Amino acid sequence: MADRRDAEPSADDLLKHDVHGDPLLRRIGRGAARPFRTSPDVQALAEHGRWVQHPVTTGRRIAVTGIRGGSGKSTVSALISSVFARYRQDRVLALDVDPELGSLPLRLGVPAGRPLADLARADLRTASFAEVEPYLTRLGEHFWALPGSQGAVAGAGLDAAVYQAAGLPLSRFFGVTVADCGVGVHTPLHHAVLAGAHAQVMVTPATPEGAASAGRALDFLSAGPLARVVPRTIVVFTAHHPQGRRRTIDVAKAREILHDVGAEALFLDHDRHLAAGTRMDPARLAYATRVTAIAIAAASLHRALSA
């Protein structure tokens, strides 16, 4: 047997201990308050649940973009793909199309596997799902993932042509495909993913700088051939640490401004479990994080079905 000390540690191994997204007292308090939850909260969750489970006639593709590194793009991709996989009865795919070796595989606990470029060399036009599945990593009963460039040199083998040859036809096997894109919206790969997307989730820090960056990105999209994506966009403002709330923007005001171009805004608050930066355990997410993840998934599918 190999010496455990010789094995390469995973990111989870480097943690002293894992933490729950909510402190213990908050969990206890919520449990006591659950019977008294207001009816609007219950109705909102029920409405979100209906949209998450809404049937589709053809597969819907949701692109998740981030304006700057560390915004939480891959975390949001992992959250909403997990929500879809939990509540839907058809297949769900989490697709990594970040050429800079993004953290979606880490967040989902996906080992290195076959990159999307391998599928591009196959003919997916006539392939069956049984022929495609060996390229994928199965995460649950209805949940699969494909790390687009995992284990490869950054940017190698993943470009617009590869996505068009493999990413788009691969999505026909799934009710919902969540594509985790690289940072920005300017590259040919971004254009290929967004051109084929039914909705966009744009993730940015909940700071004045993050809001300004999102505004510039939406202006850029509005002025070009991808203008149709803007009214199908959900902007998710994220807070990465508790102290960050001091400079958090007024999301309600941002929502009013974004409403003028047809986009929506949601706020994903700091979560202690997600802040650890390792594999996401849905059981350890803060309650507010789970609710927000369902809301983001519902809003994005609503936009995707309105396309």
Query: pLDDT tens across 65-110, in order?
Result: 998 888 899 999 999 999 999 999 999 999 999 988 778 988 998 8
Mean pLDDT over each residue of the chain, to the nearest integer = 83
288 domain residue, yes or no: yes
Q: Render pLDDT for 222-267 as a digit per residue (tens, 0 to 9).
A: 999 999 999 999 999 998 776 555 567 888 888 888 888 889 999 9
- 8 A C-beta contact, residue 59 and residue 169: no
* Count of structural domains within the chain: 1
The pLDDT tens digits of the residues spanning 38-66 come to 445 556 677 777 889 999 999 999 999 99
| Contact (Cβ atoms closer than 8 angstroms) between residue 218 and residue 259 | no
Supply the pTM of this predicted model. 0.85
Rounded mean pLDDT, 170-177: 96
Any idea what the CATH number is for the domain that residue 240 is in?
A: 3.40.50.300
Range of the domain at 149: 57-305
Q: Does residue 33 belong to any structural domain of this protein?
A: no
In a domain, 10, yes or no: no
CA distances from 19 to 23, 152, 276, 277, 285 (A): 9, 31, 8, 11, 9
Question: Residue 145 falls within a domain, yes or no?
Answer: yes
Residue 37 counted as domain residue: no
Residue 22, in any domain of the structure: no
Q: Which residues pair with 140 in a beta bridge?
A: 143
Q: Would you say residue 5 lies in a domain?
A: no
Asked if residue 267 is part of any domain, the answer here is: yes
Reported in sequence order, the residue ranges of 148-288 that DSSP labels E, i.e. its strands, are 176-183, 199-205, 233-238, 264-268
Over 60: is that where the pLDDT of 149 sits? no
Tell me: pLDDT of 281 over 70.
yes
User: What angle (nearest 5°) sits at the alpha carbon of residue 66, between those of residues 61 and 71?
Assistant: 130
